Amino acid sequence: PNHRVRQECLEIQRSDIIYSVVDELVALVEERLPKTEKHVTVGRAAVQTSFVLFKHKKKKRKTVAGCVVENGTVSRSAKVLGRLIRDGETLFVGPIDSLQHHKDSVNEVKKGQECGIRIADWDEYKPEDVIEIFETHFVKTEINWKYTKNATENVQEKE
């Protein structure tokens, strides 16, 4: 049997307590599961208006959303994405291409401040649209497997 274990690269777990083996098995399975993508909202801005900017050399039209930050912080970094929401439905997700406060290009705008936001490759902003700024995290997938030391605890007698 030991020869086959080495050939198959199998790992043998031994314990006098079955629950320890089960816990180790669950931990091994969780370790091998793909991580779960989790979106964490860090800011939310309400679109008040939109305005068009032109790049002079390329004469390319770009639309910017004039917003007020309602919650959190709106930032422009590689870690965040913007989600355009209209009537409760997500229409587009993309990186923040431009963030301005007054006429200055900035990296961050806080709650209560006005700003201009442009999501890359999106040009159709309407009043009452919402732009959510979120970060993506990859978290360990956990198995929610519950067991009891006394299996009869889970059995209910029918009356």
Q: Greater confidence, 72 or 158?
A: 72
**Domain count of the fold of the chain:** 2
In this prediction, residue 60 carries a pLDDT of 78
Cα 3 to chain center, whole Å? 46
DSSP labels for 37-68?
EEEEEEEEEEEEEEEEEEETTTTEEEEEEEEE
Calculate the average pLDDT of the chain. Answer: 85
Identify the band that residue 156 occupies on the pLDDT scale cut at 50, 70 and 90. very low
pLDDT beyond 60 at 150 = no
What is the extent of the structural domain holding 119?
A: 37-139
Does residue 28 sit in the same domain as residue 44?
no
Q: Does this model's pTM top 0.75?
A: no
Same domain, 25 and 41: no
Task: Tell me: do 19 and 58 sit in the same domain.
Answer: no
What is the pLDDT, as a whole number, of residue 121?
93
d(CA 145, CA 154): 14
Q: 73: domain CATH number?
A: 2.40.30.10
- Kindly report, residue by residue over 19-40, the tens digit of the pLDDT: 788 888 888 888 889 999 999 9
Q: Which residue has the higher pLDDT, 30 or 74?
A: 74
Cβ-proximal residues to 36 (8 Å cutoff; 6+ apart), any chain: 138, 139, 140, 141
In a domain, 91, yes or no: yes
Instruction: Mark whether 86 and 118 lie in a shared domain.
Output: yes
Q: Do 108 and 93 sit in the same domain of this protein?
A: yes
